[in-house]
Amino acid sequence: MKNLYSLGNKGTPLFILPNTEFKSWKTQQSDFIKAWLESTSFNGNGLTLLPDDRTGKVFQAVYFVEDITSYWQCGDLASLLPEGKYLFQGDAQHRELVAFGWALGAYQFDSYKTNTQPKAKLIVECQQELKKYQDLVQGIILVRDLVNTPACDMMPQHLAETMQDLADSFNGEFSQWVGDELLEQNYPTIHMVGRASEHKPRLIDLSWGDENAPKVTLVGKGVCFDSGGLDLKPGAGMRNMKKDMGGAAHVIGLAHLIMAFNLPVRLRVLVPAVENAVSNNAFRPGDVIKTRKGITVEIDNTDAEGRLVLCDALCEAQNDSPDLLVDFATLTGACRVALGTELPGFFTNNDAVAAGLIQSGKNVDDHVWQLPLYAPYKDMLKSDVADLSNCAVSGFGGAITAALYLQEFVEPQTPWIHFDVMAWNNRKLPGRPLGGEAFGVRAMFDYIQSRYVI
């Protein structure tokens, strides 16, 4: 990212225009440029590089886009432009959109391969703007990097190191409970799900900000690899399960944004981090566990483990009586069936929060979709031997029943948002390469800003 921006005031002028203005723009050009456009068959879609009629060198870059208000309008631009420095000609709001798409479109997860990063650089004239762009983009890049990292290098201890580094960078407070400490401190479901792995399960805790400020607590599912447990996944279903800690990645990226922009909140981030592995001490279908809240849960399926680690963390989150409680999780395939892989679903117990969050998603081109906490479906979670089953008897409405399970561990008076996200791009789009992705993070950040920044 550092190589994609450059502080200064000199560079090839770059113009971003809606393609509906191409004809009028063309009429204002010199005869030489008109001839150039005709000879290159440029029709007002995409990038054109305009040569100087004396030297032949590029003196201007013009990029025509369909939607000039989209954050992703320049998602391919850094890769399309030849090596050089480019100075965008536009107002502050549009500069932010261009800078955002420019950097995220050029993103490459290159930790394990030779770096082939594009060599075009965007000139930023103001140091303050440069920092803003870097902070905004870094929150998303952090999510992508964490999700893309192979499980061999992204186990619970690695997530803890990431959160420790984040706490150190922003003068936060860090703590964790590891292995059997989870039992001693009464986090039984986190321990149960993670105990079969050689990588010890843990609950990771980061706090930051004025203790007297409104409390915002983030909880992220940190299943660093999900084999399915004894209800083993098929090979195809297991292939991308390094991304099952995507919820943790999302709250870490969101925390980075909150701290980097110094929002006036008391932030707490809780990540239950485990590997759902198979061993002689793995938890079994039919087992019953007493959760931190005291609710007993029968294990119907060991592959429905995310809600198990989240329920203890959500219960812990209530200790602070947060003003806002948000969890992110790669929780159900059912949500992907309902909304596809690119639209994150969310559930909430507060209609005003839902309306504000949806509007924030529109504001920053990070759309989210509300799904219902349909109470009658709670019957599907009944167990003959425990208070709840961890898995509904029917696969229909699976995202709803998973959310209803989590709701049992949230106090009714606490404004709560539950995100069920894919955390992965299955297809390449402008600004969004294949692989790990942040969904709903910018929408949530914009909402928190609008809620707490006067």
Residue 89 tokens, joined: 């000609």
Average pLDDT over every residue of 421-440? 97
Q: Which amino acid is at 30?
A: S
pLDDT of residue 4: 86
pLDDT at 2 over 60: no
pLDDT of residue 157: 98
Helix or strand (DSSP H, E) at 217: strand 215-220
Distance CA 140, CA 114 (A): 22
Of residues 301, 310, 292, the one with CA closest to residue 248: 310
pLDDT at 116 over 80: no
Q: Which amino acid is at 258?
A: I
pLDDT of residue 393: 86
Taking a C-beta distance cutoff of 8 angstroms, is the pair 4, 100 a contact? no
Of residues 368, 372, 362, 429, the one with CA closest to residue 397: 372
pLDDT tens column, 183-229: 999 999 999 999 999 999 999 999 999 999 999 999 999 999 999 99
Catalytic residues: 233, 307
Three-class secondary structure of residue 24 per DSSP: helix
Three-class secondary structure of residue 345 per DSSP: strand
pLDDT at 443 over 60: yes
DSSP state of 239: T
What does the buried/exposed string (b/e) look like for 46-76 if buried means 16 or more CB atoms within 10 Å of the residue's CB?
A: eebbbeeeeeeebebbbbbbeebeebbbbbb
pLDDT at 446 over 90: yes
Average pLDDT over every residue of 285-299? 98
pLDDT of residue 92: 86
CB-CB neighbours of 169 under 10 Å: 11
pLDDT of residue 117: 64
pLDDT of residue 113: 86
Q: Which amino acid is at 42?
A: F
For the ranges 123-127, 167-171, 293-297, the lowest mean pLDDT is seen at: 123-127
- What separation in angstroms does the CA of 280 have from each of 45, 195, 196, 198? 60, 10, 7, 12
pLDDT of residue 3: 74
Distance CA 431, CA 102 (A): 7
User: Which parts of 318-423 fold into alpha helices (H)?
Assistant: 333-339, 351-363, 398-407
- pTM for the structure as a whole: 0.96
Taking a C-beta distance cutoff of 8 angstroms, is the pair 434, 246 a contact? no
pLDDT at 114 over 90: no
Distance CA 454, CA 450 (A): 8
CA quadruple 280, 283, 284, 290: dihedral positive or negative?
Answer: positive
Average pLDDT over every residue of 412-418? 97
Q: Can you tell me which residue has the tokens 């991304």?
A: 243
Taking a C-beta distance cutoff of 8 angstroms, is the pair 325, 416 a contact? yes
Helices 246-260 and 156-169, packing angle to 10 deg: 0
Instruction: Delineate the domains of the chain, giving CATH numbers in brackets.
Output: 5-125 (3.40.220.10), 137-452 (3.40.630.10)
Residue 353 tokens, joined: 């929060």
Backbone angles phi, psi at 274, to 5 degrees: -150, 165
pLDDT tens column, 41-53: 999 999 999 999 8
Distance CA 219, CA 414 (A): 14
* Phi-psi map region of 41: left, alpha, beta (phi>0 left; psi -120 to 50 alpha): left
Average pLDDT over every residue of 168-173? 98
Of residues 424, 112, 434, 415, the one with CA closest to residue 249: 424
